[in-house]
Structure 1
Amino acid sequence: MTNLIVDGVSKVYKKKTALHPCSFEANEGTCVVLCGGNGAGKSTLLQIIAGILDPSSGKTSINEQEIKYAREKYLEEIGFMPDDFHAQEMMTVEEFLRFYGSLRKVKSERINEVMRLIGLEGKKGELVKSLSKGMRQRLLFGQSILARPMVLLLDEPTNGLDPYWVNQFVTILKEIKKNGTIIVFSTHMMDVAAETGDTVLFMKQGKVIQTIQHENNVEETTMKLLKLHRQ
């Protein structure tokens, strides 16, 4: 069974603490959602789990493999979607996905499947730079799921999505969970967090101030998160 452990990770830049010690555990087929305003520490935490940032303290492991001691094996298990598009804009949609697919030895059939899933099959010949914000988000999301990772990390994946694609995104995440993937993602959308998260970590100023476990009442969980956000 796939297992992700985040054990007391923190991040300090000189005298500024971006992330206070944070711990959680996630098992196969579960979703952890990071909620909170700007500067809450969500992106920092995701980047530490993804191996982009080194923690000032603490450690992360996937199936008992710590990134410090088994970096290549650890990173093989991860799919990561950044919060903004910093990629090859002169590639077409298809070239972009095939490039990232080649890094993970993804078959052509899977690349075509993902293009259909994210609704960009009809745009496959268009340059990335010509895509709308929402389409770019969908393309970044598609890149992150190409290799069917065991751990999927998404930084503000719903930014720029219209209501239809927010609903599609939720549906896709639920299917990915059913296949056993661990998902950790950040969002400002409290209803999306309430609907998808088995665990929701509400963060403020680099600290997890409340942990909310899965509840069947989505509206009630959404209201709890909204109240925390307004405090």
Structure 2
Amino acid sequence: MSLLEVKDISKIYKSKTALSPLSLEAAEGECLVLAGGNGAGKSTLLYLLSGILSPSSGRIMLNHIDLHKNRKQYVKEIGYMPDDFQAEQTLSVEEFLSFYASLRHVGKDRVRAVIDRIGLEEQARTRISKLSKGMRQRLIFGQAILSKPALLLLDEPTNGLDPYWVNVFVKLIKEIQKDGTIVIFSTHMMDVAADAADRIFFMKDGQVIDELSGEEQKDKLTMKLLKLHRQS
């Protein structure tokens, strides 16, 4: 059973606190959403959980693997989608995913399955430079799920998606949860947070100021989140 354990992690840059000490746990198949305005600390938390940044204090454990002590093994267990797209523009969709598949020892069948899952079958041989913003988002999401990670980390994954693909994204997240993957993603879209989350952490100034349950009625939960967002 997958388990993420985060104990008192923080991030401090000289005199600036980007993330105050934070602890959380997430179990197999659970979806946690990070909500809040710009500069709230959402991306910083994702950077720490992905191993891109090292915490100033605290410990991160995934399936009993300590990130600090065994980073190489830890990162094999995760999938990460950044909030900005960086890739060689001349690569095709299939070439891009095949490159990442080779790094993760994933076969061609899985690459084809992911292309189908993200709705880019017709663009499989299209260069990245020719893709729309939404297609690029779907492609980088596909990269993150290639290896069926134990922990999936997504930074603003719905940016650039049209309403149809936002709905598809929520459905995909629920399917991935059924496979046992822990999903953590950030969003400015309060209705998406209410739709997808088991728990929502609302952040402000590097702190979690409220934790809400995804079991609440969606309309009421969305209104609570919007109110928090306006006050932040």
> Which TM-score band applies after superposition, normalised by the shorter structure?
over 0.9
Equivalences, count: 231
1:163 aligns with 2:163: yes
1:21 corresponding residue in structure 2 = 21
Cα distance in 2 between the residues matched to 1:6 and 1:12: 17
Cα distance in 2 between the residues matched to 1:111 and 1:216: 37
Cα distance in 2 between the residues matched to 1:192 and 1:152: 17
SS of corresponding position for 2:153: strand
Long gaps (5+) in structure 2: none
1:100 aligns with 2:100: yes
Cα deviation code 1:96-126 (max 9, x no counterpart): 0000011111111110011011111111111
**What root-mean-square deviation, in Å, do the aligned CA atoms of Structure 1 and Structure 2 show?**
0.8
After superposing on structure 2, the runs of 4+ consecutive aligned residues of structure 1 that deviate more than 2 Å are none
Identity of aligned pairs, percent? Answer: 58
Q: 1:59, CA displacement in angstroms?
A: 1.3
Code of the aligned partner of 2:112: N
2:182 corresponding residue in structure 1 = 182
2:220 corresponding residue in structure 1 = 220
Q: 1:127, CA displacement in angstroms?
A: 1.0
1:82 aligns with 2:82: yes
Cα distance in 1 between the residues matched to 2:23 and 2:129: 38
Long gaps (5+) in structure 1: none
TM-score scaled by length of structure 2: 0.98
TM-score scaled by length of structure 1: 0.98
Cα distance in 2 between the residues matched to 1:88 and 1:40: 31
Cα distance in 1 between the residues matched to 2:164 and 2:47: 28
Cα deviation code 1:164-212 (max 9, x no counterpart): 0000000000000011100000000111111111110000111100011
Cα deviation code 1:29-73 (max 9, x no counterpart): 100100001100000000100000001111111012111111111
Compare 214-223 and 110-119 and name the one that shifted more. 214-223
Cα distance in 2 between the residues matched to 1:205 and 1:110: 40
Code of the aligned partner of 2:10: S
